[in-house]
Structure 1
């Protein structure tokens, strides 16, 4: 089991904290992009031609795409948090075995 251990206890704990913050932040951003928040208009990859159209459908499509990207990134942070949690458990097991 010790061969699966690839980072120390402090690094693993830091990874858990950063992944928790990343999940919270990205889920909230995904929700706000999903409801087409006007404050985030500068963060979508829109061009001048997208605003020249007959309706907001293209802009809404861009909002939805960025929202999906935020949710995918949040999922990756969940995976990183799970990995960090496993590393914390392995470090504790190693510490227990040494005593």
Structure 2
């Protein structure tokens, strides 16, 4: 029977730590982009034409698009963290198997 175990225990633990950090950081960035934080204006992909309108709606839409991208990336990190957790569980189960 084929085993789904593809990571060692140390790599899986490292994956969990990086996933936790990635979810926290990207969720916070998503929140700050969603509230249109002025500090993050350098990270918004705007052009000169976006500033020609008198209303800031185009810039706000760009902020929200970057916010959605951050939330999607946080969800991907969450899935990879779940995968790393499953790998740790499989490694622990492998330790208890009798050969």
TM-score (norm 1): 0.96
* Number of positions where the alignment pairs a residue of Structure 1 with one of Structure 2: 99
Give, in angstroms, the shift of residue 97 of structure 1. 1.2
Partner of 1:49: 49
Deviating 4+ runs (over 3 angstroms) = none
1:75 equivalent in structure 2: 75
Q: Does the alignment pair 1:84 with 2:84?
A: yes
Bigger share in helix = 1
Q: Note if contact 1:30-1:70 (Cα within 8 Å) is conserved in structure 2.
A: yes
When the two chains are superposed, the root-mean-square deviation of aligned CA atoms in Å is 1.4
Q: Is the 8 A contact 1:2 1:90 kept in 2?
A: no
Structure 1: stretches of 5+ with no match in the other structure? none
Could you list the runs of 5+ residues in structure 2 that have no partner in the other structure?
none
Could you say what secondary structure the match of 1:67 adopts? helix
SS in 1 for 2:97: helix
Deviation at 1:98, TM superposition (A): 4.4
Matches of 1:2 and 1:88 in 2, distance apart? 17
Secondary structure at 1:25 match in 2:
helix
